[in-house]
Amino acid sequence: MTADSEKPVGTLRSVVLDCPEPRKLAQFYIGLLGVRLIEDEDDTWIVTADGEGRRLVFQLSPEYKPPRFPDPEASQQVHFDVLVDDIEEAEPRALALGAKLVQPNDNDQFRVYADPVGHIFCLIWL
C-alpha cells in the first residue's frame, strides 16, 4: 500500500436526517443528546453539533415516510446507539422528549426507540 492509498478519501462532516419538521426534530435531539444549535436560518436545514464538532443535521423532506421497524418492507437505513449510564433514569427522559418505545428488550444492554418522526435509535448501557 502506498502512502496515498492509506490516506482517507475524506472525513465525515455530518449525519443528515430527513424529516417533515426539521426544527421540531432538532429540538428532540438537543434534549436527547445535549447537542447545540449552530445553524437555524430557515425551516429546511437545521444544524446541531456536539462539543467535538460532530454535526447532526435535519433536512426538510415534505414526502418523508418513516421506517416501520422491524418491517423489512420499510426498513431503517441507519440508527443511533445512544450510550447512557442508567437506563431507568434515561428512558423516562427520552420518552418525555417524545421518543416512543418500539421494542422492549429482555436483553440487558439495549432498548429500541423511535424519535418523534420514526427514526430508530437505541439506548444502550454497558
Q: Is residue 7 part of a domain?
A: no
Q: For CA atoms 10, 12, 13, 17, give the dihedral sign.
A: positive
The model's pLDDT over 47-79, given as tens digits with 9 standing for 90+, comes to 999 999 999 999 999 999 898 888 888 777 788
Q: Is residue 6 part of a domain?
A: no
**What Rg do the C-alpha atoms of the chain give, in angstroms?**
16
This prediction has a pTM of 0.85
56 with 81, same domain?
no
**Amino acid (one-letter) located at 108:** D
Residue 102 sits in a domain whose CATH number is 3.10.180.10
Please determine, for residue 35, whether its predicted confidence score (pLDDT) is greater than 90.
Answer: yes
What is the span of the domain harbouring residue 105? 77-126
83 with 108, same domain?
yes
Q: Looking at residue 8, what is its pLDDT?
A: 83
